[in-house]
């Protein structure tokens, strides 16, 4: 056992040790803090170089951050005179259970995005290809926050009642034009159906000339021009409209092939309407993309004795690049021949009808496939005479227009962009990230918007 004197001595030694450690820790901290600060600034400057140029960064320490759990940290950049130049927001959102980690640079004066960096440094990262992120950056950098799409998707969950009564078999369906257009493009539409609902739509066109890029790519590079927005964006918009409305007829195509009810779409959509209708009809019979290609092969074998691959009609992307312009008899129904022996075309067959036979001729030839059950709603055949807007009487949910995005009123939106082609969700997530930064800065600076 320790005596009282030993205990007293022990305590004194302990206090001595503590004082010595205070000296060592404080001395070490202050002696090394100069190195520490300059090294940290070098790290910040290097790390944030792609999103904001500044001479010095300071981390923001504010209680407002606790309201934004997605934001990891926020840094303020200063120039060499000490004036603030902008913010860098380090943010991680979790869309679809996967982490999207980004750095967003925002200008101090006018809340313009100075840079965006996608960081692939987390477990289970949200997948965005370099090409897509570059395209998204191209659309967002230099723009003011907050941001919305030119035609923002409504936050309203698709009501079961808006699902058409048609029963579709789940799968991927495909249809392409039999003939190429005057520029050599063959339109095609691909539709994916899950749970009886259209979940993905793609409309594009490949060219008879293998050296010519697809129409959407050509429109983005400027090689293919249409009036209004670029064709790729118009294609996206009309695909998105079909996703939302689930019925090509609701696109209200006019006799000249245009529509006025899909914002930003001024091009001729007749090929899209025809091909998407064909896809959906195929979907009723379970005639999927694989069957379609097999059907194409069967026709080519009948005509030439070989399939597409053997004939060299398959391009690098797997499309059958062949125009039936010279073989209209394949898909045309002719009436009775006149006196001159010439018959008039009275109708056209789609590929499934060619392969399986025209149901109009013999209804027993085809049986619909086993469809995913969906709520049976009587089709709304009521028309109000207007084709200039989407009006569905009696369906209040259809008439809800988007009035907010990311909990921001649309009136507050400073910039509207079009999503990157075939990367709607990715663009949407990045826009969400930018809008979260905006909301934080608004709270932090107590902006009066």
Is 365 a binder of other proteins (CB under 8 A)?
A: no
Q: Pick one of 8, 12, 49, 59: the residue that binds other proteins (CB under 8 A).
A: 59
Residues 121 to 160: which contact other proteins by CB under 8 A? 123
CB of 57 to other proteins, least distance (A): 12
- Residue 370 has phi, psi (to 5 degrees) of -80, 110
The nearer residue to other proteins, 23 or 223, going by C-beta atoms, is 23
Is 120 a binder of other proteins (CB under 8 A)?
A: no
Is 6 a binder of other proteins (CB under 8 A)?
A: yes
- The answer to whether 90 touches 72, Cβ cutoff 8 Å, is yes
What are the E-state strand segments in 341-420?
343-348, 404-405, 408-409, 415-417
The nearer residue to other proteins, 11 or 150, going by C-beta atoms, is 11
CB of 29 to other proteins, least distance (A): 6
Is 445 a binder of other proteins (CB under 8 A)?
A: no
CB of 10 to other proteins, least distance (A): 7
d(CA 449, CA 3): 73
Is 20 a binder of other proteins (CB under 8 A)?
A: yes
Is 3 a binder of other proteins (CB under 8 A)?
A: yes
Is 9 a binder of other proteins (CB under 8 A)?
A: no
Is 449 a binder of other proteins (CB under 8 A)?
A: no
- The answer to whether 215 touches 317, Cβ cutoff 8 Å, is no
The nearer residue to other proteins, 47 or 294, going by C-beta atoms, is 47
Is 26 a binder of other proteins (CB under 8 A)?
A: yes
Q: What sections of 349-415 are H helices per DSSP?
A: 351-356
CB of 86 to other proteins, least distance (A): 20
Please tell me whether residue 387 adopts helix, strand or coil conformation: coil
CB of 397 to other proteins, least distance (A): 38
Task: List C-alpha distances in Å: 381 to 274, 279, 375.
Answer: 20, 22, 17
Residue 440: CA atoms inside 13 Å, Cβ hemisphere, count?
A: 29
CB of 40 to other proteins, least distance (A): 8
d(CA 78, CA 76): 7
By the 10 Å C-beta count (0-12 exposed, 13-18 middle, 19+ buried), 130 is classed as exposed
Total residues in contact with other proteins, by rule CB under 8 A: 32
- The answer to whether 277 touches 284, Cβ cutoff 8 Å, is no
The nearer residue to other proteins, 35 or 382, going by C-beta atoms, is 35
Is 61 a binder of other proteins (CB under 8 A)?
A: yes
Is 31 a binder of other proteins (CB under 8 A)?
A: yes
Locus of tokens 């392969």: 355
Residues 303 to 362: which contact other proteins by CB under 8 A? none
What is the side-by-side order of every strand in the sheet holding 56-59? 56-59, 71-78, 84-93, 100-107, 113-119
Q: Pick one of 12, 22, 445, 449: the residue that binds other proteins (CB under 8 A).
A: 22
Is 18 a binder of other proteins (CB under 8 A)?
A: yes
Q: 178, 149, 130: which is closest to 345 by C-alpha?
A: 178
Q: Pick one of 8, 29, 142, 156: the residue that binds other proteins (CB under 8 A).
A: 29
| Residue ranges in contact with other proteins by CB under 8 A | 1-3, 6, 10, 13-14, 17-18, 20-22, 24-29, 31-33, 35-36, 39, 43, 59, 61, 66, 69, 72-73, 123
């Amino acid at each position: 056992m320790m005596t009282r004197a030993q205990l007293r001595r022990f305590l004194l030694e302990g206090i001595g040790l503590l004082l010595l450690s205070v000296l060592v820790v404080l001395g070490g901290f202050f002696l090394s803090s100069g190195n520490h600060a300059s090294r940290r600034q070098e790290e910040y400057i290097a790390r944030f170089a792609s999103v904001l140029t500044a001479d010095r960064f300071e981390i923001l320490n504010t209680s407002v951050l606790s309201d934004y759990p997605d934001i990891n940290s926020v840094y303020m950049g200063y120039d060499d005179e000490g004036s603030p130049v902008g913010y860098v927001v380090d943010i991680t959102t979790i869309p679809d259970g996967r982490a999207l980690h980004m750095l967003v640079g925002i200008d101090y004066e006018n809340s313009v995005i100075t840079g965006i960096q996608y960081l692939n440094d987390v477990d289970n990262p949200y997948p965005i290809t370099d090409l897509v992120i570059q395209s998204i950056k191209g659309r967002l950098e230099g723009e003011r926050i907050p941001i919305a799409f030119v035609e923002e998707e409504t936050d309203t969950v698709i009501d079961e009642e808006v699902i058409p009564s048609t029963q579709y078999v789940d799968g991927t369906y495909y249809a392409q034009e039999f003939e190429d257009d005057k520029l050599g493009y063959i339109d095609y539409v691909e539709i994916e159906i899950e749970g009886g609902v259209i979940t993905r739509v793609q409309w594009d066109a490949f060219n008879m000339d293998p050296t010519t890029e697809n129409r959407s790519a050509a429109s983005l590079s400027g090689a293919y021009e249409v009036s209004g927005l670029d064709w790729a964006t118009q294609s996206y918009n009309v695909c998105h409209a079909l996703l939302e409305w689930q019925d090509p007829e609701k696109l209200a195509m006019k006799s000249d092939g245009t529509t006025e009810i899909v914002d930003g779409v001024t091009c001729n959509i007749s090929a899209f309407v025809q091909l998407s209708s064909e896809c959906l009809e195929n979907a009723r019979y379970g005639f999927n993309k694989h069957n379609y290609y097999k059907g194409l092969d069967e026709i080519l074998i009948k005509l030439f004795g070989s399939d597409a691959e053997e004939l060299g009609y398959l391009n690098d992307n797997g499309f059958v690049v062949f125009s039936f312009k010279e073989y209209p008899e394949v898909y045309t129904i002719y009436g009775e021949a006149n006196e001159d022996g010439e018959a008039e075309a009275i109708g056209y067959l789609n590929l499934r009808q060619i392969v399986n036979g025209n149901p109009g001729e013999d209804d027993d030839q085809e049986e619909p496939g086993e469809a995913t059950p969906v709520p049976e709603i009587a089709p709304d055949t009521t028309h109000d005479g207007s084709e200039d807007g989407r009006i569905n009487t009696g369906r209040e949910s259809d008439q809800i227009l988007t009035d907010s995005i990311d909990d921001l009123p649309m009136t507050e939106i400073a910039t509207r962009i079009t999503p990157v082609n075939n990367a709607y969700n990715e663009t949407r997530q990045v826009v969400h990230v930018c809008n979260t930064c905006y909301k934080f800065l608004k709270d932090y600076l107590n902006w009066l918007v």
